[in-house]
Amino acid sequence: MESIAIMTSGGDAAGMNPAVKCAVEYSRKKGYKPFLIRDGLRGLIDGKISEATRADVSGILHRGGTVLRSSRSERFFQYEHRKTAYENLQKLGINKIIVIGGDGSFRALNQFYEDFNIPFAGIPATIDNDIPGTDYCLGVDTALNVIRESVDSIRDTATSFSRAFVIETMGRHCGYLAITSALSSGAEILIAPELEHDLDSIRERLIEDCAAGRDHIIAIVAEGTNMGEKLTSWITTNLKMDARLTVLGHVQRGGSPTVRDRIMAYKFAVAAVDSLDAGNTNQIIVFNDGNFGCTPINEVADATYTLAPELLKLSAHLAK
């Protein structure tokens, strides 16, 4: 009986646990013996690998984060430690890996494949939604809903005190979370890396709005712009409105997975097991235009992620 090991790596994202559960159950159904790697790449080196039991994946569907835990390992960049990881897998007869994580995790496993010929399938999981080649990554919908609830709550206070609130979202250098959240929460200002902003134009627009009766402002800022504090001060000075900055931070990575993230996790996991079962070696599972497929790791690693033009077009007016 062939064996498949499942691991989570990199930043945690809601949807990882449903993906682990489905990957274990579906691989067993396909005739594989499933194993779990705990603590990500570090656990692969340290031998924290065990055969998956039904108890391991029972009651984890609704939990955020990753029950397998995660890590970023500098040691994995060194050949001797990768060789140790390979020997750990050999001892248990494991010859395939499913990694649930981001592009950095995929590159690490691709190097592992080049060194020791251990095939892997990657399931994209990052709230940043910045992996090239796929429209969707696990954890995005849950993060957007966390942001939506936070912005809705903050707007209650904004209207009560006639204040402006600048809300900073995560996303590294990708503005997907900020842009989608600004549209879905009815924000008045949006600052994101992919959009050119014009503060003079924003000032004129909002002065006119305030003269017509607007008594509060919600601004969404992507962390990659480093504009949170600057925009807060700018609003106070230029719009004569008390402004406060709220950095949502890591609350966006937690929370029980939404229905969409749970169902997408199942579909990604099934596609990953099927990819390995078909003999693919270093493929990333992608979701585009409603369909799942596979993309070679080099096409992901060598590409630059770009936001959908229609999303940028919809949101451009909020930056001017």
pLDDT of residue 1 exceeding 90, the answer is: no
The predicted pLDDT at position 72 comes to 82
Is 31 found in the same domain as 87? Answer: yes
**Segment 214-257, tens digit of pLDDT:** 999 999 999 999 999 999 999 999 999 999 999 999 999 999 99
The predicted pLDDT at position 73 comes to 87
Q: Is residue 194 in a domain?
A: yes
The predicted pLDDT at position 103 comes to 87
Quote the CA–CA distance of 247 and 226 in Å, as a whole number.
Answer: 11
Quote the CA–CA distance of 113 and 52 in Å, as a whole number.
Answer: 23
Tell me the mean pLDDT in the region 89-106. Answer: 96
Backbone angles phi, psi at 130, to 5 degrees: -115, 25
> At 41, is the pLDDT very low, low, confident or very high (cuts 50, 70, 90)?
very high
Strands 120-124 and 164-169: unpaired
Q: Is residue 271 in a domain?
A: yes
Q: Is residue 318 in a domain?
A: no
Quote the domain boundaries for residue 22.
Answer: 3-139+257-304
Is 116 found in the same domain as 25? Answer: yes
> Among this protein's residues, is 128 annotated catalytic?
yes
**Segment 108-150, tens digit of pLDDT:** 999 999 999 999 999 999 999 999 999 999 999 999 999 999 9
pLDDT of residue 158 exceeding 90, the answer is: yes
Cα four-point dihedral sign 173, 176, 182, 188: positive
In DSSP terms, 221 is beta-bridged to: 168, 191
| Active-site position among 56, 103, 128, 141 | 128
Is 15 found in the same domain as 58? Answer: yes
As a whole number of angstroms, the longest Cα–Cα distance in the chain is 73
Count of domains observed in the chain: 2
Q: Is residue 319 in a domain?
A: no
In whole numbers, what is the pLDDT of the chain averaged over residues? 96
The predicted pLDDT at position 200 comes to 97
Tell me the mean pLDDT in the region 286-314. Answer: 92
The three-state secondary structure class of 137 is: coil
pLDDT of residue 303 exceeding 90, the answer is: no
Cβ neighbourhood burial of 160 (10 Å; 0-12, 13-18, 19+):
exposed
Q: Which residue has the tokens 């809300």?
A: 167
Tokens of 249: 């931070």
Q: Which residue has the tokens 């930043």?
A: 11
Quote the CA–CA distance of 273 and 31 in Å, as a whole number.
Answer: 11
Contacts of 63 (CB under 8 A, 6+ apart): 17, 256
> At 172, is the pLDDT very low, low, confident or very high (cuts 50, 70, 90)?
confident
Helices (H), the chain: 16-29, 40-46, 79-92, 103-116, 140-161, 176-185, 199-211, 228-239, 259-277, 297-301, 309-315
Q: Is residue 241 in a domain?
A: yes
Quote the CA–CA distance of 305 and 302 in Å, as a whole number.
Answer: 10
Is 270 found in the same domain as 202? Answer: no
The three-state secondary structure class of 62 is: coil
pLDDT of residue 298 exceeding 90, the answer is: no
Q: Is residue 310 in a domain?
A: no
> At 296, is the pLDDT very low, low, confident or very high (cuts 50, 70, 90)?
very high
**Alpha carbon separation from 29 to 124, 210, 294 (Å, rounded):** 23, 61, 21
**Cβ proximity of 282 and 112 under 8 Å:** no
Candidates 142, 184, 195, 186; CA nearest to 165 is 186
Contacts of 232 (CB under 8 A, 6+ apart): 164, 166, 243, 244, 245
Is 188 found in the same domain as 161? Answer: yes
Is 151 found in the same domain as 288? Answer: no
What b-and-e string marks burial along 193-222, b requiring 16 or more CB atoms within 10 Å of the CB?
Answer: bbbebebeebeebbeeebeeeeebbbbbbb
pLDDT of residue 300 exceeding 90, the answer is: no
The predicted pLDDT at position 301 comes to 79
The predicted pLDDT at position 295 comes to 94
Is 13 found in the same domain as 113? Answer: yes
